[in-house]
Structure 1
Amino acid sequence: MKPIHLTLVCHARTEAQRVGRFALDDEPASSSIELATTARCLTAPELRARQTVEHLAATIDEGLRDCDLGTWKGRLLKQLDERELQAWLADPHATPHGGESIAALCQRVAGWMDSALGEGEWIAVTHPFVIRAAMLHALGAPLASFQRIDVLPLARVRLSHSGQWRLQLG
């Protein structure tokens, strides 16, 4: 069995991140990055992910899409009902926004990781929530760990799979 090497790249900074609000699907990225690679490239369907690697011939992969935050899309964090926000932060199964729960996101990303990639080198440009979910899956970490991971714009996380997922630091 040949290994899978997956580098997850967080999209470039957005205005939503700068001002503390949840992004809209068509939220633009503030910049793009140059990646010199021979790896197969995938990107989430949202504009901010596609713009981050606009110079590459990346294939859009729906499995990399951001968490659906329902009615919270485009809203400032300080505009949210404090009790709903705290419930959502405390319970990965909560969906006060009417969208996708963190638990459902983690399940979706785990399924994608375990079925969508073939052997070889991959680069996938996606979102902080998706990268958090991938890290939990690779480490077998509990859902409660999700809110303890910060993923900054343009951060890179390297994972490999040869029988099991592993986090590679370097």
Structure 2
Amino acid sequence: MKPIHLTLVCHARTEAQRVGRFALDDEPLRDPSAPLSTTARCLSAPELRARQTAEGLSATVDEGLRDCDLGEWKGLPLKQLDENALQVWLSDPHATPHGGESIAALYERVANWMDSALMPGQWLAITHPFVIRAAMLHALAAPLASFHRIDVPPLAEVRFSHCGQWRLQLA
């Protein structure tokens, strides 16, 4: 069995990240990043911020890498959210007070993508902090309650390998 080597890269910094609000689907980068370089096959989430980060990589857009759908919270600052609704969302991975995708549904989507979308070889994928968090939980078989305990800064890289099971690789 040949292994899969997957590097997930978080998109570059956006204004939403700078000011503490949830991003819009067409959120552009605040500061364009230096071009990435790789010999791996490249994928990108469909949102503008991921595609801009992937410029120069000849990346294929993959819907499986799309960000969590935060429904009515898209574009809103955290401080404007109803505090009770936010606490429910932070404490219950199945909750959808925003009317979008739950953390549990995101996890299932990312886990299914990891387990079925990639052929053996080297892969680099530009995606979002929430997707990277879900991938880490899947690789570690960690509980969903751990989701909000992971910070993924702009341009962070997380490496995984798969040969029978997913493994998190530290560089």
Does TM-score exceed 0.5, indicating one fold? yes
1:37 Cα deviation (Å)? 1.3
Distance 1:38 1:151 in 2: 24
Shift of 1:35: 2.2
- Give how far 1:79 is off: 0.5
Is 1:19 paired with 2:16?
no
Instruction: Give distance in 1, aligned partners of 2:38 and 2:98.
Output: 38
Q: Distance in 2 between matches of 1:45 and 1:159?
A: 21
Structure 1: distance between partners of 2:38 and 2:26: 27
2:166 corresponds in structure 1 to 165
Paired position in structure 1 for 2:72: 71
- Map of 1:4 onto structure 2: 4
Q: Deviations over 1:77-106 (max 9, x none)?
A: 011000000000000000000000000000
TM-score by length of 2: 0.98
Taking the TM superposition and a 5 Å limit, the aligned residue runs for 1:1-170 are 1-29=1-29, 30-170=31-171
SS in 2 for 1:25: coil
- The alignment covers a number of residue pairs equal to 170
Where do 5+ consecutive residues of structure 2 fail to align? none
- Identity level (%): 81
Root-mean-square deviation (CA), in Å? 0.6
1:47-84 CA distance string (max 9 Å, x none): 00000121110000000000000000000101100000
Residues 7 and 159, structure 1, Cα contact 8 Å, conserved in 2: yes
**Equivalent residue of 2:37, what SS?**
coil
- Return structure 1 stretches of 4+ with deviation > 4 angstroms: none
Structure 1 residue ranges without an equivalent (≥5)? none
- Judge conservation of contact 1:32–1:52 (CA < 8 Å) in 2: yes
| TM-score in terms of structure 1 length | 0.99
